Amino acid sequence: MIVQAGTEGRNDPVIAVRGLVTGFGTKIIHDHIDLDVRRGEVLGIVGGSGSGKSLLLRAIIGLVQPRAGSIRVFGEETGEAGNPDMRALQMRWGVLFQAGALFSSQTIAENIQVPLREYTTIGTGLMTEITAMKLAMVGLPADTAWKYPSELSGGMIKRAALARALSLDPELLFLDEPTAGLDPISASNFDILVRDLQQSLGLTVFMVTHDLDTLYATTDRIAVLVDKKIKIGTIDEIRRDPNPWIQEYFGGARGRAALAS
């Protein structure tokens, strides 16, 4: 039975992954990894190309079936959740996919309203009010509602996609490479927006990123996927890890620049 919102222990992890194994064909991507995401934190997921950052996110939200292990979100075993229970879980999280994943044939308002139409029975008037509120929340002008994705800049698309992810007032927010493709100013502004929303709304944020500036600006802890395993800690703790990839990632020119900024 699904755990009702607010009834699970406040100190329980929002996401608890145990012994997770994923892969494609004969290739193993995650080899029995464990991960806890604490309530109210911003956790950054980093790793090299092919390390399975986005795959981990997709496994947690149920888009990929793991080969072994368990994933619990809000105390519910997602691999065992029936359709009604999984829908109840999905109403408690929002997802911003890489590149926004907006529907090109729909206006921004219609895109934001997709989860509202899917999971609620609220009327058109209230839906319009919620749309306007979410646009304002992510810093977009009101008239953005009637535009199409092709009429927006990359930064505006990311903000519109974030508005859609927030449409159901989720407790948990998944972000997949939220600043990818943005210029440095737009990326920095998006980092500030994410942190401000996380603090004002009390969100738990699970964020896949390769952007060192984003890690330093927004995260409380980071989880590094390396050698099919996972290492978790604060940035300062992880930077001291002797793993060669970690040392190159944080000790290279970009890592030093991000640390100094």
Per-residue pLDDT of 36-71, as tens digits, reads: 999 999 999 999 988 999 999 999 998 889 999 999
Number of helices (H) and strands (E), helices first, in the chain? 11, 10
- Residue 99: the pLDDT is 79
Candidates 64, 54, 51; CA nearest to 224 is 51
- Residue 5: the pLDDT is 45
pLDDT beyond 60 at 140: yes
Give the C-alpha separation, 71 to 76, whole Å: 8
pLDDT beyond 60 at 130: yes
Give the C-alpha separation, 196 to 177, whole Å: 18
Locate the DSSP E strands across 201-255.
204-208, 221-226, 229-233
pLDDT digits (tens, 9 = 90+) for 81-106: 566 778 888 899 999 998 778 999 99
Place of tokens 């888009």: 63
Kindly indicate the confidence band of residue 10, based on its pLDDT and cuts at 50, 70 and 90. Answer: low
At the topology level, CATH places domain 39-61+82-260 in Rossmann fold (3.40.50)
Q: Mean pLDDT, to the nearest integer, of 133-150?
A: 96
pLDDT digits (tens, 9 = 90+) for 193-248: 999 999 999 999 999 999 999 999 999 999 999 999 999 999 999 999 999 999 99
pTM score, whole prediction: 0.90
Neighbour-count burial for 145-182, b at 16+ CB within 10 Å, e otherwise: bebebeebeebbbbbbbbbbbbbbebbbbbbbbbbbeb
Burial zone of 219 (CB within 10 Å; 0-12 exposed, 13-18 middle, 19+ buried): buried
